[in-house]
Amino acid sequence: MNTQNIFSRSQQPLFLQVAAIFRRNIQSGAWAPGFRIPTLEELAAQTSVSRITLRQAFGVLEQEGLIRRGRGSGTFVNETIPEVFKLSLPTTWRETVDLSNKLGTISLMNFVDDARLPESLGMKCEFTRGDRYCLMRRLHKLDSTPFCTSEVYIDFATFNRYKKHFVSGTAAPVLEKYYGHRISHAVQSVTIIEAGADAAEALQIPISSPIAELRRFACLEDKVIYFARLEIPSRFVQLEFDLLGK
């Protein structure tokens, strides 16, 4: 494998790229629990990467609890690997509400109550738009871990009617509680993108890290009352489908 060509395609620091390759070796089982990792000399020959860079990469993996290093004894994959929690992305409105109910919410800005929907929602939407929306930007946590950021637009009349609920919690459960049986359309798209500066800072991840971007809207009598754009680090994301539809 020509690792130099691979490394040159990314603007990430080299040691983070190397750490990502080694992390994948561990996650895939190629480096099993207890496995003695090749020496720095062996890895340097395999990857054409300096020993200094390899040590930095090992430092990252050691902080993550994936490996242990001992003077004179070598470097080993830990017997017990910390489990990274994953959540299945919601594929129905009910699942969206259930996931939203689990998330803690931190405001990243004072809400704007005279916003308009973006000209393009980034997904097909042929329904009527309101003249005025409330915009909120938030960070959501799951068990104190930054899980996703959100940019949420709520129809102004709807927001104003249940303002204290929208301000203190996530939007989907509020809509479900007061309009659930009247929601006429709810659509979601998922795209894998790179984290920008704002998402990287809020989610405590490197810039350009892969993240899942969820865009979704909900309608009341064919009028868009809710539009949201969420960004979730890809390491948390799991998609599971019954391919036989049973």
pLDDT at 109: 87
Q: Express each pLDDT in 66-116 by its tens digit.
A: 999 888 789 999 998 877 667 788 889 999 999 999 999 999 988 999 999
Q: Final residue of a domain: which of 23, 55, 77?
A: 77
- Report d(CA 36, CA 34) in Å as an integer: 6
Number of structural domains (the chain) is 2
- Report d(CA 150, CA 213) in Å as an integer: 10
Tell whether 179 and 128 lie within a shared domain.
yes
Q: Is residue 112 part of a domain?
A: yes
Q: Is residue 244 part of a domain?
A: no
5 has pLDDT over 70: no
pLDDT at 183: 96
CATH number at residue 23: 1.10.10.10
Q: Is residue 243 part of a domain?
A: no
pLDDT at 35: 95
Q: How many CB atoms lie within 10 A of CB 213?
A: 18
Tell whether 225 and 166 lie within a shared domain.
yes
17 has pLDDT over 90: no
Q: How far is CA 161 from CA 109, 165, 171, 177, in A?
A: 21, 9, 13, 13
pLDDT-derived band at 10, boundaries 50, 70, 90: low
200 has pLDDT over 60: yes
- Report d(CA 162, CA 178) in Å as an integer: 9
Residue ranges making up the domain that contains 23: 3-77
Q: Do the Cβ atoms of 225 and 219 come closer than 8 Å?
A: yes
pLDDT at 128: 97
230 has pLDDT over 80: yes
Q: How far is CA 1 from CA 4, 6, 26, 46, in A?
A: 9, 9, 18, 9
Q: Is residue 51 part of a domain?
A: yes
* Encoded tokens for 102: 């689990």
pLDDT at 9: 64
pLDDT at 81: 82
* Higher per-residue confidence, 205 vs 184: 184
Average pLDDT in the chain? 90
Q: Express each pLDDT in 27-81 by its tens digit.
A: 889 999 999 999 999 999 988 899 999 999 999 999 888 999 888 789 999 998 8
Q: Express each pLDDT in 144-162 by its tens digit.
A: 889 999 999 999 999 999 9
Tell whether 129 and 231 lie within a shared domain.
yes
pLDDT at 125: 95
Q: Is residue 63 part of a domain?
A: yes
Least confident of 7-11, 93-97, 193-197: 7-11
Tell whether 67 and 189 lie within a shared domain.
no
pLDDT at 117: 96
Q: Do the Cβ atoms of 156 and 132 come closer than 8 Å?
A: yes
